[in-house]
Structure 1
C-alpha cells in the first residue's frame, strides 16, 4: 500500500493521518477516526447518508478520496453541534423529520451547507439542497415540516434585527 501523510482540518481540529491517498473519506472518518455519525449506505453517491462538508460545500464522503482532503476543512455531523444541538437538528427532532435516523446526519449536513452558502434560503432552495439525500422511512412530511420551520425561524430572526 502506497502511504502518505494526509493533513487536513476536521471539525476545527488539525489532523495528520498516515493513509493511502485512495482511501475513501467515509472509511477514514468511521474506521480510523471513530466518527460514526457519517453513515455508509449505497456507497455510490446516490443516497446522501455519508454527506459531509468540505470547505463548506456538501460532498459524499463515499466518493471523496483522502488526497482530495489535503489542506481542506472537513466538517462532519459531529462537528456541527459539539457544544449544543444545532437549530437544524432541533427542527428535525421537533418536527418528526426522521424515523430510523440513518439518513438524518446527511440531510442535516446538506441543509447546513446550503445555509452557509445562502443564509436566507427559501423552502424550495432547502428542498433542492436535499436532492442528493434519500429517506426510505418518513415519507418526507416531517422533513418538509422541519424545512418550513427552519425558513420561518430564519425570517423571525431577521425581523428581530
Structure 2
C-alpha cells in the first residue's frame, strides 16, 4: 500500500498543509476525499492549485473506496479527509488503515466546540470512538513539527472544561 499518511483536516489543503505537511510527508501525490469537494468543480481546481508541484486528486468517499478496492495505489500518497465519519466509511469500505493523523475539524452549527480545532458533532465523536475501538490509532497534531499526541485524552480533558 502506497498511502504514506492519512490526515483529518476539514480544510483539506490549506497553507499549513501546502507549505509544511506536504514537504514533511514527501509524497508524490495528494488525494483529498470529500463528497462535498468532489461535487464542486471550482473547489477541485482550488485544491489542485494549492499544491501545484504534486498531482492532486479529489474523490468522494464511495468513489475512492471503489478505486482503492479495484486497483492498488502505486504512488506514494498523502490522503486528506474532512472528518472522522469519512475515515470510518473508508475503513468499513475496505481501505486498510491503522493510523490517522488528526489536524482539526472546526466549528459548525452541529458541532460542539472543545477547542478552536477540536469540534465534533455527536456522530463524528461516535465515529472517533468506533475508530479507536477498531484499533485505529488517532493522534492529534496541528503542525508537522509538533509532536503527535493521542487525541482521545485531549478531547476527554477538553470535555471536562465545557
TM-score (norm 1): 0.28
Higher strand share: 2
Q: Which has the larger radius of gyration?
A: 1
| TM-score of the two chains, using structure 2 as the length reference | 0.28
**Which structure would you say has the larger RCO, counting Cα contacts within 8 Å and 6 or more residues apart?**
2
